[in-house]
């Protein structure tokens, strides 16, 4: 699959929890991570999502927030990935930040240069990448 999304995680559906309008779909992905997506019930049915189905989670890098001290807070965000910054590629306004996650995977974030300075983002820095479940797109092969 070709996509402009920087973050593509392959895995299997482990749970589908239905709500009044949206469903919460949990994937177990490579590296031992778990990703939760909030999608419409219509999409759940259209994609045939149920436990055991192979699926991909796509996350735009601009939807990934980085936080230095997440362990000091209780967050409502379902997707929280602790890792270590491995690369910062600065630009005029934004920077691309690659965070290595346990299990050999990684997640890329696009943040402002101001955030790079404020969070002191540099290789070796421990951070938590945060992604709202509403910002996760699911895909399945045809």
Q: How many residues does the chain have?
A: 142
Q: Give the Cβ contact number of residue 84 at 10 Å.
A: 15
Band of pLDDT at residue 94, cut at 50, 70 and 90: very high
- Retrieve residue 51's tokens: 């436990």
**In whole numbers, what is the pLDDT of the chain averaged over residues?**
96
pLDDT by residue (tens digit) across 124-138? Answer: 999 999 999 999 999
Give the phi and the psi of residue 119 in degrees, each rounded to 5: -90, -5
Q: CA 70, 115, 95 angle in degrees (round to 5)?
A: 115
pLDDT at 65: 97
pLDDT by residue (tens digit) across 16-75? Answer: 999 988 999 999 999 899 999 999 999 999 999 999 999 999 999 999 999 999 999 999
pTM of the model: 0.93
Greater model confidence, 97 or 32: 97
Contact 19, 133 (CB under 8 A): no
Place of tokens 């996350």: 59
């Amino acid at each position: 699959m070709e996509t402009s999304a920087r973050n593509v995680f392959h895995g299997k559906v482990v749970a589908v929890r239905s709500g009044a309008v949206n469903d919460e779909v949990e994937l177990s992905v490579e590296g031992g991570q778990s990703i939760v997506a909030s999608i419409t019930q219509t999409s759940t049915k259209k994609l045939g999502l149920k436990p055991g189905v192979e699926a991909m989670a796509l996350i735009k890098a601009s939807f990934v927030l980085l936080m230095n001290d997440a362990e000091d807070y209780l967050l409502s965000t379902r997707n929280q990935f602790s890792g270590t910054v491995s690369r910062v590629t600065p630009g005029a306004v934004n920077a691309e930040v690659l965070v290595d996650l346990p299990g050999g995977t990684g997640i890329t974030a696009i943040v402002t240069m101001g955030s790079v300075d404020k969070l002191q983002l540099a290789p070796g820095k421990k951070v938590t990448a945060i992604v709202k479940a509403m910002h996760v797109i699911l895909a399945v092969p045809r």
